[in-house]
Homo-oligomer: A and B are copies of this chain.
Amino acid sequence: MTERIDHTLRGSWTPSGAADAALPPHALRWLRDRTGLAAASTPAGPDSVIAVGDSTLPDAARAALAALVGESNVLLDRDSRLGRAGGLSYVDLMRHRGAGELAVPDAVVLPADPDQVVEVLRACAAQDIGVVPFGGGTSVVGGVSALRGDKVAVVALDLARLDALVSVDPVSRIAVLQAGVRGPDAERLLAAHGLTIGHVPQSFERATIGGFAATRSAGQASAGYGRFEDMVEGLRLATPVGEWRLGSAPASAAGPDLRQLVVGSEGAFGVITEVALRVRPTPTERRYEGYVLDGWEAGGEAVRDLAQQRVLADITRLSDVDETEVSLALSGGWKSTALRGYLRARGIARPCLLILGWEAASPAEAAVRRAATLRVLGEHRTVRLGRPLGEAWLHGRFNGPRQRDALLDAGVCVETLETATHWSRLDELRDAVRAALVDALRTPQHRPVVMCHVSHAYETGASLYFTVLVPRSEQDPIGQWQQAKAAACAAISRIGTGEPPLGTISHHHAVGTDHAPYLAAEIGELGVDVLGSVKRTLDPSGILNPGKLLGQELLTR
């Protein structure tokens, strides 16, 4: 079987459109009051103002690629190239608005299938052309920047045509999907079989199966469905030296788990072309609820207890006081006032919102699992806010990426970053990152909003996800953020201090270019050497995703 999505159909996963992308007036008012944001509007200019150099792709290379994938699948026009120039980080978005220099690929190549991907890589290796694998283009860490490295040219290898559901094994509950299938399309294709992946990160609407695997993505329901790497049963990886297939059993002791070396390899070792995924029946029961705890420490204790007693709801998201405050402020006038009063009356001085969600294949399963969660949660002081708050979270689950353009138009510097650590260091890590961000971004005129939540909890620790909003610097909007990000990364990795890192430099955004300088602090110089040796084995001429994961200087070690 090979099933492809009919893109004219629309299902439940369809983005809900422009309404969610706009910023409500009261949100803008709140931002101005809270941060000192000026009333000026700074809309993006037309794409035509962006400087795009001529393609440096040699004619011989173009001809070789066209011979493999067809003339119409080697795109050299300005719009196609600009459309694959970078991802969705604040810095990338600002570059598309004319700030800083944009790395634009010299061509876009669209192979038809996994075999063509291998051939394209061989051809690029022969012609010494860099290759940036491009799926949904949602990287927020520079993972798809079209860096040329030491190559004569760099192409974006767009996987859009690898958009098929290849096979379904309903007995083993395994589905094989091609790398270019986007989140909503994967769910639509599988829904026809009564199955779901259950992987819904905030990038879901645009990101692809291959990208999820390449970056060790974690979805909003990771507590229930696992991180993406937990779902990967097998892989096909196209490399310049041939195809590599992995995965013959759910678990194995036949040496190291090489699947876990490919998952997270960020296009630096090869191009993931197919992923065999563990799937589950489409849930028939979905229930999302809001709770409030008093303070970050109490909230963290409750989530830790749920994780360690192994009764986490499938979706478990704890906001800190700042993020809860913003949620309340943005939920609008009287609702927010009423809620504040209600919580105060119940002795909640520092409200922290906890969203819990259960997705189950039967009412009985839903009831049993919810009861198990609530039995443990009942040992902690909580105020139940019920389903409306849970549904509100569900409705707004993709608003972060959707509203970024509106925030940029309003003159805001908006970005996120994330980390994870063990429970005993979680508060220390949060305080350190928060302080680094606030210190870096505060000016006499501007007061940054730094909010944080836990959205992925484990028995031994949890993730921390920070969202930052601050009026944008007119002089240096990119440097403004890069300095804050560097301060946050230094707080996480404690680079140069001789101390081991306080946490990981990335829990689910990956390394890309932005985290590459901090990788050695986390995995050691030996770890970097090991990754380098693997890269040289699979990509001897170093054409794959130059500068990502291992950083630029390591390609030539």
Task: Select A503's contact among B171, B249, B278, B510, beta carbons within 8 Å.
Answer: B249
Task: Identify A252's interface contact among B217, B460, B507, CB under 8 A.
Answer: B507
Q: CA A206 – CA B230 in complex, angstroms?
A: 31
Segment with Cβ contacts to B, from A37-45, A51-59, A523-531: A523-531
Q: Which candidate, A11-19, A236-244, A393-401, is the interface stretch facing chain B? A: A236-244
Collect the chain B residues with CB atoms within 8 Å of residue A217's CB.
253
**Does A462 interact with chain B (Cβ within 8 Å)?**
yes
User: Which residue from B253, B511, B534 sits with its C-beta under 8 Å from A533?
Assistant: B534
The reply to whether B250 and A420 form a contact with Cβ atoms under 8 Å apart is yes
Q: Is the CB of B227 within 8 A of A460?
A: no
| Residues B251 and A459 in contact, CB atoms below 8 Å apart | no
Measured between beta carbons, the chain B residues less than 8 angstroms from A250 are: 420-422, 458-462
Interface flag for A173 (CB, 8 Å): yes
A72 at the interface (CB under 8 A from B): no
Q: Which residue of chain B has its CB nearest to the CB of A361? A: B309
A263 touches B254 (CB 8 A): no
The verdict on A478 contacting chain B, using a C-beta distance below 8 Å, is no
Proximity bits, A507-529, B CB within 8 Å = 1, else 0: 11111000100010011101101
**A506 is an interface residue with CB less than 8 A from chain B:** yes
Tell me whether B423 and A524 are in contact (CB under 8 A): no
Which residues 442-490 of A sit at the B interface, judged by CB distance below 8 A? 456, 458-463
Shortest distance in angstroms between A516's beta carbon and chain B's nearest beta carbon?
9
Give the distance to chain B from A197, nearest Cβ to Cβ, in Å.
Answer: 13
Q: Which of A370-388 touch B at CB < 8 Å?
A: 372, 375
CB of A530 within 8 A of CB of B261, answer yes
Interface contact B533-A420, CB-CB below 8 Å: no
**Given the complex, which residues of B lie within 8 Å of A368, measured CB to CB?**
368, 372
Query: Which of the residues B174, B253, B375 comes within 8 Å of A507, measured between beta carbons?
Result: B253
Write the nearest CB–CB distance from A272 to chain B, whole angstroms. Answer: 12
**Shortest CB–CB separation between residue A193 and chain B, in angstroms?**
14
Chain B residues near A101 (CB-CB < 8 A): none
Digitize A492-508: 1 where CB-to-B-CB distance is under 8 Å, 0 elsewhere. 00000000111111111
Q: Residues 529-555 of chain A: 1 if any B CB is under 8 Å from the residue's CB, otherwise 0? A: 111111011100000000001000000
Q: Are A503 and B255 CB-contacts (below 8 A) given A423-B172, A460-B172?
A: no
- B515 adjacent to A254 (CB under 8 Å): yes
Q: Could you pull out 25 A-B pairs where Cβ atoms are within 8 angstroms?
A: A171-B424, A172-B422, A172-B423, A172-B424, A174-B460, A216-B252, A217-B253, A244-B524, A248-B502, A250-B420, A251-B456, A251-B463, A251-B504, A253-B506, A254-B504, A254-B506, A255-B265, A256-B262, A256-B264, A257-B263, A258-B523, A261-B261, A280-B308, A309-B361, A530-B538
State the 10 A-B residue pairs at the shortest beta-carbon distance, nearest first: A260-B260, A249-B504, A172-B422, A250-B458, A216-B253, A252-B504, A250-B461, A171-B424, A249-B420, A244-B526
Task: Contacts A173-B459, A252-B506, A254-B506 known; list 20 others, CB within 8 Å.
Answer: A172-B423, A172-B425, A172-B461, A174-B422, A216-B257, A227-B251, A233-B460, A246-B523, A246-B527, A248-B504, A249-B421, A250-B421, A251-B458, A254-B515, A256-B531, A258-B523, A278-B460, A368-B372, A526-B538, A530-B538
